[in-house]
Structure 1
Amino acid sequence: MNRLQLIRKSEREYHDHCYEHDELFKPGSWLHKPVKTVMELLPMLEHNKDVNVLDLGSGVGRNSIPIADYYKEKAGKVVCVDFLESAIKKLGQYSEQYNVSHKIHPVLSDISEYSIPHNEFHLIVSVSALEHVDSERTFDEVIENMILGTQIDGINCIIISTGIKETMIDTGESIEPMYEILFETNHLIEKLERVYKGWHHIKLTVRPYAIEIVREGQRVRLESDVVTWVVQNVCCREIN
């Protein structure tokens, strides 16, 4: 088993366990509530008659279900892409439970293999997912497709971990992080500033993050920066 296969196996086991044992919007896990930054963006698109949203790495609907509920009286859709069957299955159940199944469009696919239609979406969101594509080259391709898939005045919201470190709690030993891409924080920000040149900056924050997790039955301290990047496509806006 190569490094990528090992990481994907670990990722699948972690999320399958989480989705099985932690209920969406119930206290006690990171599924407790949607990301505040994502929800704060929704009023910015209310003027549109229809709102199309793409959630890359949607999981069971932590963000996409509240988004669908917010726009449930409008035309449009919330496309939810995830490579885990367990996530897509639970997403379908939760979308029924929260009465937004008419808005939710689940897609079982690796993020990098999903073809984003050009000029389709008013909002594209990716929370803790893009660091799990298989290479930096693939990351660049996904970002380019996100840009091409965003309508004029549309918004891209990326939340991603950088500077990732993992340490065995019982021994203090540093171990190789189980993440596909290990971005350094400054490198990622410079990349995003370059590829999104001309877009309007709404938000850029870098915040430290630490949590205890379990890897193969061992307690591990996971530390990283969390970069929040939110920009709006004003590049081709017509000026009267």
Structure 2
Amino acid sequence: MYRGEIGMTDVSRLERIRAEERAYHDECYARNELFAPGSWLQKPVATVMNLLPRLDRRSSLQMLDLGCGVGRNTIPMAQYIQKQGKSGQVAAVDLLESAINGLGRYAQQYEVASSIRPVLSDIESYKFEPHSFDLIVAVSTLEHLRSIPILKHKLNEMAAGTKPGGIVCIVMSSNIQEKRVATGESLDPMFEINLNTEALIQMLDDAFTGWTLLDRQVKALQFKIERRGEPVWLGSDCLTYVVQNPDL
């Protein structure tokens, strides 16, 4: 049995998790400016940025940022499209109004609004068209899907929605633990899905069977957050998983 599978039908727990995440992100977006030092918003994910030159031969780029937030990766992805003189857009999906509103503001500030298509939606409801995207990015968001069966379904949709030769980049937490800073007491992690790392890797390998593995690495992380005003240690394995759809 996967950790995280039990209790996903518990509506009250699901609501509590999503309320915690909404409060955390709303506060983060209000307090921190995009690309300013001092938070995880200060720069895009290096792995995502390093993938963009692999798409240079394409005259048009259609990219997707799932769980885009206020544009940590979306803005640089759109800047890349414009800098390279390509047509195309970044579809940017997030369920939080604060995120989509912030993205709109930063898109105007960085003069890339024409290259971004904001979508206010949860990932579970977002519909993939077959062979639509040259690059799909999902950073720290798939662990917030409602259940493991939905995760499996979305991974299959992501695979089907990628163009021949296109790339999927997933950064996802596993083996998640939360503990009170004051006492070391273990808490129920506020994540809908909490797989062990080996099970997560196997699930991804199954979803992208036959694809070319470009990168797979696991890094242990721990940092301090707040839950309802109380300091909490959040620890996890951070899995980076990048695959390329073989040319048809």
With normalisation by structure 2, the TM-score equals 0.94
- Residue aligning to 1:115: 127
Give the C-alpha shift of residue 116 in structure 1.
Answer: 1.0
Distance of 2:212 and 2:228 partners within structure 1: 43
Alignment of 1:1-240 (within 5 A): 2-72=12-82, 73-234=85-246, 237-238=247-248
Report the residue type matching 1:82 in the other structure.
D
Give a deviation string over 1:5-49, Cα, whole Å, max 9, x none. 000000000000000110000000000000000000000001001
Unaligned 5+ segments in structure 2 are 1-10
Separation of aligned partners in 1, 2:235 and 2:196 = 13
**How far 1:229 moved relative to its partner?**
0.2
Residue type at the aligned position of 1:198: G
Q: Which residue of 1 aligns with 2:8?
A: none
Q: TM-score, normalised by structure 1?
A: 0.97
Deviation at 1:131, TM superposition (A): 0.2
What letter corresponds to residue 35 of structure 1 in structure 2? V
Higher relative contact order (CA 8 A, sep 6+): 2
> Which residue identity is paired with 1:178?
M
Q: In 1, Cα distance between the equivalents of 2:169 and 2:55?
A: 13
**Cα offset for 1:172?**
1.1
Deviations 1:21-80 (A, max 9, x none): 100000000000000000000000010010000000000000010010011121111000
Cα distance in structure 2, aligned partners of 1:172 and 1:201: 38
Distance 2:135 2:128 in 1: 12
Query: How many positions carry a matched residue from both structures?
Result: 236
Q: Give the aligned CA root-mean-square deviation in angstroms.
A: 0.7
What is the deviation of 1:222?
Answer: 0.4
SS at match of 2:171: strand
Inter-partner Cα distance in structure 2 for 1:18 and 1:169: 20
What secondary structure is seen at the aligned counterpart in 1 of 2:117? strand
